[in-house]
């Protein structure tokens, strides 16, 4: 009686195989049934008492049907496996029917690795799967050899001892098989393959070691950083990080989103007012009515500036970023909004006819708005420069130099500087508001109405351009 | 007292002529009186802080118009700078009054007021008037050139 010592059930590696072995006998056999014809002989036998038992071949019914000659399977009794209909007495593995008709080249069935293990058992020259001489089994725990009756152990429990024994056996077998491989004609190839596998295993072990080392060093670094963070927080430096930071973020988030919502609402109302103005102009309404409408639009602009100043209090960076406007508008953005001087340029000739006085006033307005814008821009530049200086190594020294007091004071200075951003934004909005009011003063009612329409047209076109651009980008992505 | 101008030569000499040094020192120690005195000494007077960026912006505004204001950096003033700042705080009823601009001895205000008056066209006449009245009391004729803002 032979106990099948052949290893691998699937095309997996030896280590996988042993893992599976440890998971249990049943699992192994399940793997066998799942494996296709290219897989190996799957009879996994543990040295000792357990061999195939009835419950081990759940899926072999298939084979049972296709391999009519192997009625042995239908009964699933251990004995029957061995007493196959093959007259030569060779043990036939549970291959699919078609395969069994041919003279199977074992290398077709096994992976090279498996070949190594199995070569001890198969006479590859003959192309038939035959067990080798009995002597192979001498090195193995020979309790496996014996009467079939000894193997009728229906217990599915694999003792730990069995497993250990089994693994020892396998180790021995692999050694044995190497020797066998060497000594045989086709041995060179298999030996080479074995060597390759060993090499691969070694490399993967090295890789794993390197990875583990990397993990450990990263963990060390992380611990260090946590310590630093803790100490800095204790010193009160990180006021905007950690838990409080999250809250601040949330608040900022709601502030920004509430402004965005309000702005959208404002835009809708603005469009409506402009529509009414257009209708009034087309209908040639009287100056008084027109004035009411114009004043209404201007006052509505004041609402927007009020909204913006509230938004800046919540989140000045959101206002400065211009994320509440469309992309094209953002392109022209200056300090959180449009340029007054640009506005006047937009109006350009559309205000004709203007009196000389008006022309001069508009000219002066253009000039003073440019001067004011330049002054604020230069102020912003100075702010950026001084912020950069506060944070640079020139004032703080290199990181980790340990001068905590200096660090804290410089951070406090930088914080103060950031605080002036809101003031700049406020001044810029004031400039815009003042420019609009001045225009209102210079122009007649009708001219002012016309001017408002022209301004609205311009910004609507900018917004439309943004939409077109976004569509184009989207189409490109899906093209 | 360190007395700087926006971009070069000073706007006229002080009342009583002579060197700028010691112009702020001496005299009454009441900050408000000092402020008044200093403001009336020159056509355009700016009280500022050297590290403040808004102060920098206002200085650039005047220089861009061709005006050379007299600037007092309160953080660089060894004596009484703090007092003046506090007095200005009370005067303008705000915790951060600077920069503050006086034209022709009269208080104009902080950045927002200066800009608003510039936009609505009232700043330039004010400057011209201050320059001319200054010029009447001063030997230095250069200031007329500096105050060309048309």
Q: Helix or strand or coil: residue A366?
A: helix
Q: Is residue B146 a contact partner of residue B8, using CB atoms and an 8 Å limit?
A: no
What's the CA gap between A26 and A7, in Å, rounded?
Answer: 15
Q: Higher pLDDT residue, A22 or A461?
A: A461
The greatest distance separating any two alpha carbons of chain A, rounded to the nearest whole angstrom, comes to 124
Q: Is residue A252 a contact partner of residue A318, using CB atoms and an 8 Å limit?
A: yes
Measured between CB atoms, does B121 come within 8 Å of chain A?
yes
Compute the count of residue pairs across chains A and B with CB atoms less than 8 Å apart: 74
**Residues with Cβ within 8 Å of residue A85, at least 6 apart in sequence:** A69, A70, A71, A72
The ipTM assigned to this model is 0.77
Inter-helix orientation angle A340-347/A356-391, to 10°: 150
Residues in chain B: 150
Q: What is the DSSP string of B33-89?
A: HHHHHHHHHSSEEEEE-TT-HHHHHHHHHHHHTT---EEEETTT-TTTHHHHHHHHH
Burial zone of B96 (CB within 10 Å; 0-12 exposed, 13-18 middle, 19+ buried)? middle
Residues in B touching A376 (Cβ below 8 Å): 57
How far from chain centre, in Å, is Cα A306? 42
Q: Is residue A446 a contact partner of residue A308, using CB atoms and an 8 Å limit?
A: no
B99 prior amide bond cis, ω within 30: yes
The Cβ of residue A90 has, within 10 Å, a number of other Cβ atoms equal to 13
> Could you tell me which of B48, B76, B82 has the C-alpha nearest to residue B62?
B48
Give the per-residue pLDDT at A382. Answer: 94
Measured between CB atoms, does B111 come within 8 Å of chain A?
yes
The distance of A474 to chain B (nearest Cα, Å) reads 42
Confidence label for B67 from pLDDT (cuts 50, 70 and 90)? very high
Q: What is the DSSP string of A181-220?
A: HHHSTTHHHHHHHHHHHHHHHHHHHHHHHHHHHHHHHHHH
For A71-80, what is the mean pLDDT? 41
Tokens 């963070």 sit on residue: A229
Give the per-residue pLDDT at A175. Answer: 57
> Could you tell me which of B19, B24, B70 has the C-alpha nearest to residue B48?
B70
Q: Is A115 a residue whose pLDDT tops 50?
A: no
Question: What one-character DSSP code corresponds to residue A149?
Answer: G
In what order do the strands lie in the sheet containing B70-73? B3-5, B70-73, B44-48, B100-103, B106-109
pLDDT tens-digit profile of A259-310?
999 999 999 999 999 999 999 999 999 999 999 999 999 999 999 999 999 9
Which H or E run includes A222? helix A187-234
Q: Helix or strand or coil: residue B13?
A: coil
What's the CA gap between A122 and A43, in Å, rounded?
Answer: 14
Measured between CB atoms, does A367 come within 8 Å of chain B?
no
Give the per-residue pLDDT at A389. Answer: 86
What's the CA gap between B147 and B9, in Å, rounded?
Answer: 13
How far from chain centre, in Å, is Cα A438? 54
* Cβ–Cβ gap B57/A379 under 8 Å: yes
Q: Helix or strand or coil: residue A289?
A: helix
Note which residues in 417-446 of chain A have CB less than 8 A from chain B: 417, 420, 423-424, 426-427, 430-431, 434-435, 437-438, 441
Q: Which of B53, B111, B113 is the mutation pick for testing A, counting most A CBs within 10 A?
A: B53
Tokens 């005006």 sit on residue: B67
Give the per-residue pLDDT at A116. Answer: 43
Exposure string over A424-446, b if 16+ CB within 10 A, otherwise e: bbbbbbbbbbbbbbbbbebbbbe
For B138-146, what is the mean pLDDT? 42
* Cβ–Cβ gap B121/A374 under 8 Å: no
Q: Is residue A41 a contact partner of residue A131, using CB atoms and an 8 Å limit?
A: no
CA angle (A123, A186, A170) in 5-degree steps = 65
Q: Higher pLDDT residue, B97 or A31?
A: B97
What's the CA gap between A81 and A60, in Å, rounded?
Answer: 12
Q: Is B114 a residue whose pLDDT tops 80?
A: yes
The Cβ of residue A278 has, within 10 Å, a number of other Cβ atoms equal to 15
Which H or E run includes B108? strand B106-109
Q: Which residues pair with B4 in a beta bridge?
A: B71
Measured between CB atoms, does B51 come within 8 Å of chain A?
yes
Residues in B touching A365 (Cβ below 8 Å): 119, 121
What's the CA gap between A321 and A319, in Å, rounded?
Answer: 5
Question: What one-character DSSP code corresponds to residue A59?
Answer: T
Of B64, B112, B119, the CB nearest to A438: B119
Report the helix count and the strand count for chain B, using DSSP H and E: 6, 5
What's the CA gap between A49 and B117, in Å, rounded?
Answer: 105
Residues in A touching B53 (Cβ below 8 Å): 379-380, 382-383, 386, 417, 420, 424
pLDDT tens-digit profile of A327-382?
999 999 999 999 999 999 988 888 878 899 999 999 999 999 999 999 999 999 99
Q: Which long-range contacts (CB under 8 A, 24 or more apart) does A268-276 make?
A: A269/A300, A270/A297, A270/A300, A270/A304, A270/A456, A271/A456, A273/A297, A273/A300, A274/A452, A274/A453, A274/A456
| % of chain A surpassing 90 pLDDT | 39
Question: What one-character DSSP code corresponds to residue A83?
Answer: S
Q: Is residue B79 a contact partner of residue B19, using CB atoms and an 8 Å limit?
A: no
Please give the radius of gyration of chain A, using alpha carbons only, rounded to the nearest integer. 43
What's the CA gap between A414 and A239, in Å, rounded?
Answer: 14
pLDDT tens-digit profile of A53-72?
344 444 444 434 444 433 43
Give the per-residue pLDDT at A54. Answer: 42
Q: What is the pTM of this model?
A: 0.56
What's the CA gap between A259 and A261, in Å, rounded?
Answer: 5
Measured between CB atoms, does A395 come within 8 Å of chain B?
no
What's the CA gap between A71 and A410, in Å, rounded?
Answer: 89
pLDDT tens-digit profile of A118-166?
444 444 444 444 444 444 444 444 444 444 444 444 444 545 566 666 5
| Lowest-confidence region among A179-188, B10-19, B67-76 | B10-19
Measured between alpha carbons, how far is residue A172 from residues A51, A129, A273, A402 in Å?
19, 22, 93, 62
Measured between alpha carbons, how far is residue A296 from residues A287, A293, B85 in Å?
14, 5, 41
Q: What is the DSSP string of A310-356?
A: HHHHH-HHHHHHTTTS-HHHHHT-BTTB--HHHHHHHHGGGG-S--H
Indicate the average pLDDT of chain A.
71
What's the CA gap between A7 and A147, in Å, rounded?
Answer: 22
> Could you tell me which of B18, B17, B38 has the C-alpha nearest to residue B26?
B38
């Amino acid at each position: 009686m032979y106990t099948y010592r052949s290893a691998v059930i699937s095309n997996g590696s030896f280590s996988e195989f042993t893992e599976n072995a440890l998971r249990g006998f049943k699992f192994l056999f399940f793997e066998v049934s799942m494996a296709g014809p290219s897989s190996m002989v799957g009879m996994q036998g543990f040295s000792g008492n357990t061999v195939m038992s009835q419950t081990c071949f759940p899926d072999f019914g298939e084979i049972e049907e296709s391999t009519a000659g192997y009625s042995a399977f239908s009964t699933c009794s251990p004995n029957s496996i061995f007493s196959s209909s093959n007259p030569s007495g060779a043990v036939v593995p549970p291959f699919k029917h078609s395969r069994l008709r041919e003279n199977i080249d074992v290398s077709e069935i096994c992976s090279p690795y498996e070949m190594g293990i199995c070569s001890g058992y198969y006479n590859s020259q003959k192309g038939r799967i035959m067990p080798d001489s009995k002597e192979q089994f001498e090195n193995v725990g020979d309790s496996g050899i014996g009467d079939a009756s000894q193997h009728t152990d229906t217990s599915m429990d694999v003792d730990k001892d069995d497993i250990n024994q089994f693994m020892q056996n396998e180790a021995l077998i692999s050694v044995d098989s190497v020797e066998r491989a060497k000594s045989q004609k086709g041995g060179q190839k298999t030996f080479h393959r074995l060597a390759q596998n060993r090499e691969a295993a070694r490399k993967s072990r090295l890789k794993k070691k390197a990875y583990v080392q990397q993990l450990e060093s990263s963990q060390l670094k992380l611990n260090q950083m946590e310590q630093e963070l803790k100490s800095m927080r204790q010193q009160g430096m990180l006021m905007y990080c950690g838990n409080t930071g999250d809250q601040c973020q949330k608040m900022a988030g709601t502030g920004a989103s509430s402004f965005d919502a309000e702005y959208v609402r404002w835009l809708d109302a603005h469009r409506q007012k402009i529509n009414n103005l257009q209708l009034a102009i087309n209908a040639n309404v009287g100056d008084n009515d027109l004035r009411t409408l114009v004043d209404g639009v201007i006052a509505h602009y004041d609402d927007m500036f009020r909204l913006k100043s509230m938004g800046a209090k919540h989140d000045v960076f959101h206002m400065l970023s211009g994320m509440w406007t469309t992309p094209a508008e953002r392109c022209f953005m200056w300090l959180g909004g449009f340029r007054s001087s640009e506005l006047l340029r937009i109006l350009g000739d559309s205000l004709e006819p203007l009196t000389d006085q008006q022309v001069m006033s508009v000219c002066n307005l253009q000039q003073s708005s440019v001067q004011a814008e330049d002054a604020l821009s230069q102020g912003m530049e100075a702010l950026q420069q001084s912020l950069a200086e506060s944070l640079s190594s020139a004032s703080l020294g290199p990181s980790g130099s340990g001068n905590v007091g200096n660090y804290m004071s410089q951070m406090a200075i930088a914080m103060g500087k950031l605080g002036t951003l809101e003031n700049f934004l406020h001044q810029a909005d004031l400039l815009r508001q003042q420019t609009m009011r001045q225009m209102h003063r210079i122009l007649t009612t009708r001219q002012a109405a016309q001017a408002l329409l022209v301004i609205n047209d311009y910004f609507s076109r900018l917004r439309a351009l943004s939409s077109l651009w976004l569509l184009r980008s989207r189409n490109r992505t899906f093209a | 007292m360190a007395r700087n101008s926006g971009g070069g030569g000073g706007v006229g000499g002080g009342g009583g002529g002579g060197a700028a040094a010691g112009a702020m020192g001496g005299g009454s120690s009441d900050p408000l009186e000092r402020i008044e005195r200093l403001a009336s000494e020159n056509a355009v007077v700016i009280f500022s802080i050297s590290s403040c960026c808004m102060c920098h912006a206002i200085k650039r505004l005047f220089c861009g118009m061709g005006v050379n204001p007299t600037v007092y950096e309160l953080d660089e003033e060894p004596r009484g700078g703090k007092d003046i700042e506090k007095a200005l705080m009370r005067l303008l009823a705000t915790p951060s009054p600077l920069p503050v601009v006086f034209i022709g001895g009269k208080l104009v205000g902080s950045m927002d007021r200066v800009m608003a008056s510039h936009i609505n066209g009232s700043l330039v006449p004010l400057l011209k008037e201050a320059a001319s009245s200054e010029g009447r009391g001063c030997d230095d004729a250069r200031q007329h050139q500096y105050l060309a803002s048309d």
